[in-house]
A and B are shown apart, each in its own frame.
Chain A
Amino acid sequence: MKLAILHELNAERAARRPVILVTDTESGEQRLVKAKDFAKDPLGAELDKQLRMGKSASVEAGGKKLFLNVYAPTAKLVIVGAVHISQALAPLARSLGYDVTVVDPRTAFASPERFPDVPLVAEWPDTALPPLNVDAYTAFVAVTHDPKIDDPALLHAFERNCFYIGALGSRKTHAKRGDRLRAQGAKDNDIARIHAPIGLAIGAVSPSEIAVSIMAEITAVLRLPPKEKEEAA
């Protein structure tokens, strides 16, 4: 591997931008492809699929044996609201490999006794969220049911283009939330990005089951191509 490629690969990983290293395993020739360049790449569809799956693989193309080494950033999950559902959601997400942080300014909720082993930030979203570097490899859920906390958090998630944004609440509550967010400058396509009611419709009842439905929905958004994603939702 040329030092220039290694240097660029490390820079992209440090910046949490996904890249795929394509190696011709016979000649040793290599190139680094950034996600934004997939569309114009001859291997585009293949690269897209491997990145979505987060899996490295060998492929044959144009008579060459190529190895696609996928460098996807570790996905993050930011949970706004240290509520009962979050107590089930945080460990579940961790077991799936996510970096999890729970944010809630209410210290009675955000207590280490309720959230052992999970990073907790007992601050309002405007203070808590900027240092978390919420990005396009972050799933974001707002589950406090309190507009004072959920609304500013959701505005932050829109701004940072999270790959998944979900919020707790019935269709009626969600319609009101849409009105409030629009009044604060959110666009219709931002509002449309919110998964609400949150989670896949699996008839979940308990907090643990709701956590499963949320993680299932996040997984579908992360892994499925756009068409199948719509069918699952």
Chain B
Amino acid sequence: MLDRDEDILKAAEDWQKAGRGVALATVVETWGSAPRPAGSSLVINDEGTFLGSVSGGCVEGAVVTEAMDVIQSGKPRMLEFGVADEAAWNVGLSCGGTIRVFVEKVG
């Protein structure tokens, strides 16, 4: 599909211009059956509001938490999520794939 989410990057720009801290999370690599392809992105502001999707809901919560740190520190960070571990509390992808997500501050 050629379609892309049209409004996420616009929202990132608008939030930043309105004085909010903003981070952008982008799927940069996938292995196995990943829910969203490379290039999919999620934009997060310092109030915890987010738009878009990097995994269709599996790991968004964890990405938002990490994004808050990135907004604070200004340092980009690479996150990796594999299969969810049912015995522990850690997040992951129930589909069995692995994704790598790059989180960066905007501005």
Contact = CB atoms under 8 A, between A and B. Distances in A.
Interface in B1-17: 1-4, 6, 9-10, 12-13, 16-17
Contact of B13 (A3, A70, A74): A3
Interface string A1-17: 11100110110010000
B48 interface: no
Interface stretch (B23-31, B49-57, B89-97): B23-31
A54 B3 CA distance: 10
A10 B9 contact: yes
Question: What secondary structure prevails in chain B residues at the interface with A?
Answer: mixed
Size bracket, chain A contacts: 20 to 34
A6 B102 CA distance: 16
Contact of B102 (A9, A23, A72, A97): A23
B107 interface: yes
Interface residues of B, number: 26
Interface string A170-209: 0000000000000000000000000000000000000000
Contacts of B105: 1
B75 to A, nearest CB: 8
Contacts, number: 69
A7 B104 contact: no
Contacts of B1: 96-97
Contacts of A131: none
A25 B104 CA distance: 10
Interface in B69-83: 75-76, 78
Contact of B24 (A1, A7, A58, A96): A1
A194 B29 CA distance: 39
Nearest to A67: B28
A28 interface: yes
Given A6-B12, A58-B29, A1 B38 contact: no
Interface in A38-69: 54-58, 67, 69
A98 B1 CA distance: 8
A59 to B, nearest CB: 11
A88 interface: no
Contacts of A72: 2, 4
Nearest to B41: A69
Report the 9 A-B pairs with minimum CB-CB distance, sorted nearest first.
Answer: A56-B39, A28-B76, A97-B1, A67-B28, A56-B38, A97-B2, A3-B107, A58-B29, A74-B2
Interface of A: 1-3, 6-7, 9-10, 13, 23, 25, 28, 54-58, 67, 69-75, 96-98
